[in-house]
Amino acid sequence: MKNQFVLPTLAAVAALTLVGCAPTGGSAAESAAGDLRVVATTTQVADLTRSVVGDAAGVSVTQLIQPNQSAHSYDPSVADLTALGQADVLVINGVGLEEWLDAAINASGFDGVTIDSDEGIEIQDIAAGAEPADDEAHADEGGATDDAEHSHEGGNPHIWTDVANAETMVGTIAAGLSGAQPDLAGDFEANATTYTGRLAELDEWIRTNIDAVPVEQRLLVSNHDAFGYFTEAYGITYVGSIIPSFDDNAEPSAAAIDELVAAITATGVKAVFSEASISPKAADTIASEAGVTVYSGEDALYSDSLGATGSDGASYIGSQLHNVGLILESWGAEPTAVPADLR
């Protein structure tokens, strides 16, 4: 990952010099200038940040990674680096998910406040999940940067999949923004309180529905190891992943595929889930070999990225409702009605 990033970054730096660091268009450059310019890295972190900001006057939020775009393969554009360089606050996921972050900060000249939204969250060790498919995949994943802070060796970065963690992230973001703009602290805290209440309601809905399914039937197979916090929080057995790595760019070996097909057959898994930001080809193949249903296309799970505007996964809450509804369906369970303020 690191070597793949160097040349695009150098090209972006050269382009920034030519344009005098002026935005050149694209999503990052479209954010309105405000008294407090906030940049958020991932789609989930950006959605949580916007929920905290609400309609607070003079605050703009720029999202770097776009819908259905993998955080692992993201490559900042000139406009992204310009927005980052002009930002007062940077909100990140942390746990090394943003492997490109150090290079982007250096290239953009960002010198504002960084809010690391993983603060206060118990991080799952890599040993708690599956290992990368092979040595090459491990090198790509763990060797992304020289800084251990931004390496997946720090643990499983998919912290948001547990709704309780998302509540903690919201509190951290609100506190960070309040520190950066004290005169708006009341607005940030009020918005965070309201949104956290919705997240608590979401967590209760998920837990109630999953608890209604016999524990031996709560089985999940997905594209890559993105659901460790989710399965641990809600009592689900994670049978395996098509890409046995936290990095969705890794490739499964033939032996890993055979092992997963055998595990699906042995455990009685009824479905294999593709993910919206990953090609469904491998999921289709494994589901076919195992003789089970594959969920892909509009029925894929939202994992590393939220979906486009208008999709079920356009928001964090929407993505969780989408994912849990489909997982329940794969188990033959009918979910209860979604609370009105979560729709």
pLDDT tens-digit profile, the chain (343 residues): 334 444 444 444 444 433 333 333 334 444 444 599 999 999 999 999 999 999 999 999 999 999 998 887 899 999 999 999 999 999 999 999 999 999 999 999 999 999 999 999 999 987 544 433 333 333 333 333 333 334 455 799 999 999 999 999 999 999 999 999 999 999 999 999 999 999 999 999 999 999 999 999 999 999 888 999 999 999 999 999 988 655 555 567 788 889 999 999 999 999 999 998 788 888 898 999 999 999 999 999 999 999 999 999 999 999 999 999 999 999 999 999 999 999 8
Note the pTM of the prediction, 2 decimals.
0.83
E strand or H helix at 193: helix 185-211
DSSP lists the bridge partners of residue 271 as 293
Q: What is the dihedral of CA 321, 215, 336, 220, to 10 degrees?
A: 30
In CATH, 214-342 is 3.40.50.1980: yes
Task: Give start-end residues of each CATH 3.40.50.1980 domain in the chain.
Answer: 2-199, 214-342
Q: How far is CA 80 from CA 37, 58, 107, 117, in A?
A: 13, 20, 11, 20
- Any idea what DSSP says for residue 146? S
As a whole number of angstroms, the distance between CA 257 and CA 225 comes to: 14
End-to-end, the C-alpha distance of the chain in Å comes to: 38
Helix, strand, coil share of the chain (percent; to 5):
50, 10, 40
CATH number of 2-199: 3.40.50.1980
